[in-house]
Each structure stands twice: as structure tokens, then as C-alpha cells.
Amino acid sequence: MAREIERKFLVKNDSWKNGCPGLPCRQGYLVTGEDITVRVRILGDQGYLTVKGRTEGISRDEFEYRIPVADAEAMLGSMSRGGTVEKIRYHVDVKGFTWDVDEFLGGNKGLVLAEVELEDEEQQPEFPDWLGQEVTGEVRYYNAYLAGNPFSTWKK
């Protein structure tokens, strides 16, 4: 069984970029609920189908499978519910950890989040100085929530 253990943070400045190449990402949700989320994603030139279980602490079951991009496009077009999320994803290496930094586009433009996957819940990566407030577990920062409730519509 695959287990995802991750922490998520707001990003307070762009000092992380340093010429990092990013990949375009578009994703939508076929199923969203407390117990299961099914996501379809196109990241760069690859398609993925991901099934995630209920979040417990900072962990949850996660199963991800490569699928043909044409299939991912078709699912995004006809099966996704509640909108899509568009972003540029960057992989930033910091002292033995890879941080995924998402610079959101479209209705979520202006939001930048960083997440780090861990081997266990007790693992403590060194936090880079460009990280802001931790938002792990805050539902409004889940991509599934952002698909139907874009950042640009939030009351400031």
C-alpha cells in the first residue's frame, strides 16, 4: 500500500525560484469526499490518475497511475466535477528534501504553495526561509477545494 505523508506551506517570496524549470499542470477531480478523492492530472507531457484516501494527521493512502495523456484530456473534459486547477509545478531541492512548489494560475492566481513529502510523520526537514505559514490540513488549501472555490473568490 502506498502512503503519502506531506506538509504544506504558503510561500512568502520568490527567492526559491533561482532559474528552476517548471512543468505546466492541469488537474480535475472525478470524486471528492471525506473518505476518497480521485484526481486526473496532466503534468508536463504525462497523464496520471490518482486515488487518495482519508487524511489522518498528515498521512493518507495514495495510489497513482500513469495513463495516456489523451485519456487524461478526455476525463478532464467530460468527467471532472467542480472545475479544474491550473498551475506551474517546480521541484526545489533543499538539503536532502524535494519541495514541490505550485504557482497557481487562472482563478487561483496569486496563490503559491510548497509541500514536502516525508518518510514518516516524525521526520523534520529544514525549512527554507521562503516558507510562510504552515497550512497542512487546512481544507481550503487542498487542490480539490481550490478547483471549485478559487483563491480569487476568497474574502481577503
Q: What sign does the CA torsion over 38, 102, 125, 95 have?
A: positive
Helix (H, G, I), strand (E, B) or coil at 14: coil
DSSP classification of residue 136: T
- Tracing cell 473518505 back to the chain, one arrives at 35
Among residues 51, 39, 48, which one has the least CA distance to residue 67? 48
CB 43 within 8 A of CB 89: yes
CA angle (65 as vertex; 61, 70 as ends), nearest 5: 140
Known active-site residue 90: no
Enumerate the active-site residues. 29
